[in-house]
Chains A and B, each alone.
Chain A
């Protein structure tokens, strides 16, 4: 520690003409954190696709059967609407299945979808343990903890992102708020919440999988039927998380993506300073 600090201060003293033969890097993500991050990608995809196939068998959101089409499922109706309004889909064979054919493994495959869901679910739980182990071994859990200053920082970051499209249109420079921590407050909130949501998704999953033996767990989510609703909306939360997550990583550039693959980041000055605010 002290030696690297010394090297750094020497580098800083020498200013812009730092020797080119040396590079300074920090380990941003522990190995187990990186492994579990990438394993989550196919597992979550498999869970969502098979989960919507399971949802098809008995939709949470349904109404009395429609007089004309006989459908009772809002997803089926969305499919019928899409096929009626998109010109090249006018001749789609089964409009009521359009949504399920495109955002799930497909309708009429409950037995397969259940087995696939169990496979991914058990792997996801193991993966969650791997993630926790990585957070503890690498000390990364400290960077995820919400802190009091986030009450100010989260709206600040949100304002920055919300104002960004207008600033770009108006060709006005908008400065990114500077934080000395590993994550900015909005990132911290997002990564902390998604981990909690992962835990809740597993808990609601068990509640609807074993409502008799784990009746206390189902009861803690308001009973079997409400636990299904929770499970459904947690899935939606993951989708809502993933979209800006991917967009922002691409926008942020190679160093951020590389740090989740190799662990190394050359952008360390910002994360190098201790933040003692809690």
Chain B
């Protein structure tokens, strides 16, 4: 009896010792005072302040060299004197970010889909003026860079009758920061790739819209680069319908790209031509300082 009691006491004592040890691991340790010559302290301080100042100046110089000229002009400083317009560091950061986005991309990861009650309004975000719908009756899609070596020209009826139409309610995310949930229907880009195979070793699709206009209504062809891995994603559609109705001119009638794994600016409206390529084609917004990959 008494030996049992002893062992219980021993256990609780060991338990509280363990608890103390555990608590001790998290509790603050006393700082260890070190004895130094006062002159040593001054010397260290002087040395560290010099290093600190050099670091601050270096940061200012590197940071300043990456800032845009307009900023210096607004601050009333002379940009020529302040520094060059060399954006190597910013371009490196953008390249790194694109590499990270490429690494994050998975063909098997599906983006979230939503229910019809979650649909939100989608604005017409044409960069310039909305094109005159007169192009729609004569619209054709031209395919180039095919393994057959031919140029194929398709009308919307052929596209709709030869391919299965898929529905999906996904989020369109704009580079500006807004987003919209919309119900899209269309054929899978992957099915078009199977029906009209690109040249072997093609890695890119250059997708164009010749009907795009600038803000003054002058022709301003729009073009995006899409890597074929993204084009093969099961949720990458060549959309023909929005909210169950054929696309209107505001949303890129009769055929637009719907690529929910990319920013909205890659979701090109009123596609007129697709060219497959081995090398990376140019991109409208990449030429204007944005990312070229735009994976989200």
Contact = CB atoms under 8 A, between A and B. Distances in A.
A111 B290 contact: yes
Interface stretch (A163-171, A237-245, A257-265): A257-265
A276 to B, nearest CB: 5
B93 A275 contact: no
Interface string A107-149: 0011110111011001000000000000000010011010000
A240 to B, nearest CB: 23
B216 interface: no
B93 A111 contact: no
Contacts of B66: 116, 119
B245 interface: no
Nearest to B45: A262
B70 A106 contact: yes
A208 to B, nearest CB: 8
A213 interface: yes
B37 interface: yes
B176 A110 contact: yes
Nearest to B104: A213
Contact of B111 (A7, A28, A212, A262): A212
Nearest to A231: B177
Interface stretch (B48-56, B126-134, B198-206): B48-56
A211 B35 contact: no
Interface residues of B, number: 66
B33 A8 contact: yes
B71 A105 contact: yes
A215 interface: yes
Contact of B171 (A60, A182, A211): A211
Given A22-B37, A142-B28, A106 B74 contact: yes
Interface string A19-30: 011111111100
A4 B37 contact: no
Given A55-B177, A111-B290, A214 B35 contact: no
A115 B289 contact: yes
Given A20-B38, A28-B31, A264 B44 contact: yes
Contacts of B56: 38
Interface in A83-98: none
A24 B70 CA distance: 52
Given A4-B35, A20-B38, A258-B45, A275 B28 contact: yes
A273 interface: yes
Nearest to A143: B28
B77 interface: no
A139 B44 CA distance: 22
Given A276-B24, A278-B23, A212 B29 contact: no
B22 to A, nearest CB: 9
Nearest to B25: A142
Contacts of B112: 215, 219
Contacts of A110: 175-176
Majority secondary structure, A binding face: mixed
Contact of A274 (B27, B45, B97): B27
Interface residues of A, number: 68
Interface string A196-231: 000000000000111111110001000011001000
B173 A26 contact: no
Interface in B60-113: 60, 63, 66-68, 70-71, 74, 87, 89-94, 96-97, 101, 104-106, 109, 111-112
A189 B281 CA distance: 52
A212 B261 contact: yes
Contact of B173 (A38, A182, A211, A277): A211
A274 B29 contact: yes
A214 B295 CA distance: 11
Contacts of B52: 38, 261
B173 A42 contact: no
B74 A268 contact: no
Interface string A35-65: 0001100100010000000110110100000
B149 interface: no
B34 interface: yes
B59 to A, nearest CB: 5
Contacts of B92: 119
Interface of A: 1, 4, 7-8, 20-28, 38-39, 42, 46, 54-55, 57-58, 60, 101, 105-106, 109-112, 114-116, 118-119, 122, 139, 142-143, 145, 181-182, 208-215, 219, 224-225, 228, 258, 261-264, 266, 268, 271-278
29 contacts: A1-B32, A4-B35, A23-B37, A23-B40, A26-B33, A38-B56, A46-B63, A58-B176, A105-B68, A110-B175, A111-B290, A115-B91, A118-B94, A122-B93, A142-B27, A145-B26, A181-B28, A182-B28, A211-B296, A213-B106, A213-B261, A215-B111, A228-B177, A261-B52, A272-B33, A274-B29, A274-B30, A276-B27, A278-B26
Given A105-B68, A212-B109, 12 more contacts: A25-B41, A28-B31, A58-B178, A101-B74, A109-B68, A118-B94, A145-B26, A212-B296, A213-B109, A258-B45, A268-B33, A274-B30
